[in-house]
Amino acid sequence: GDSVTQMEGPVTLSEEAFLTINCTYTATGYPSLFWYVQYPGEGLQLLLKATKADDKGSNKGFEATYRKETTSFHLEKGSVQVSDSAVYFCAPSIYNQGGKLIFGQGTELSVKP
Amino acid sequence: DTGVSQNPRHKITKRGQNVTFRCDPISEHNRLYWYRQTLGQGPEFLTYFQNEAQLEKSRLLSDRFSAERPKGSFSTLEIQRTEQGDSAMYLCASSTIGRAQETQYFGPGTRLLVL
């Protein structure tokens, strides 16, 4: 079935460190890929997306590239800030099922000053 | 664009009671989704509507759960005879239909606690 595997958290980094959160997926068809972020006490916000192979999504210094051959969509940021502390979710959307999103368990990021 | 809104934001109920949640999507969005998120987990898909038609339901959606979107605008999710295992955050999202997969925009959620 459709599924997502994210690297386990929590991930603890110092401010200005480089961030990678790995995400691999299994999905029918040709999904679009999304990263959502959930700040403490808040709802899910779209961080970035990519809709076809080799597309790079980017936002707020975060980037992720749609790698169809490895079914991966790893999230990266060159220099994290304390304000990036949140839970990050990778999610493919299943086109032939109304675009429903399949979420992984999320990766908690904690950035220390 | 006022975003997706959900009411109530919090609900505490006793086991066996019925509860109903409401979701108001972004006004021009014709797709509406319900998800459930338990502590420490990612959201799980429950059901979705395209306009007023409910097109898919997850196996997670037992007979005690029912969702409606009567005029293709707001939606309600009702849980009958609540159980402690129903305690979770219930999330609503909306999107438009397009050639590419459209982004789903999420509401703040309704947190349910069943005592």
pLDDT tens, A46-73? Answer: 999 999 999 999 999 999 999 999 999 9
Nearest to residue B100, comparing CAs of A50, A36, A80?
A50
Per-residue pLDDT of chain B (115 residues; tens, 9 = 90+): 579 999 999 999 999 999 999 999 999 899 999 999 998 899 999 999 999 999 989 987 889 999 999 988 999 999 999 999 999 999 999 998 765 558 899 999 999 999 9
Most B-contacting residue of A8, A39, A48, A100 (CB-CB within 10 A), to test interface: A100
- Burial tier of A70 (Cβ tally within 10 Å: 0-12, 13-18, 19+): exposed
Q: Which residue has the tokens 């797709």?
A: B31
Torsion-angle region of A96 (φ positive above 0: left; ψ -120 to 50: alpha; else: beta): alpha
How close B17 gets to chain A, by Cα (Å)?
26
Interface of A with B (CB under 8 A): 4, 31-32, 34, 36, 42-46, 49, 51, 89, 91, 93, 95, 97-106
> In 10 A of CB B51, how many CB atoms?
13
Residue of B nearest to A4 (CA): B42
Residue of A nearest to B57 (CA): A97
CB A4 within 8 A of CB A91: yes
> In 10 A of CB B101, how many CB atoms?
21
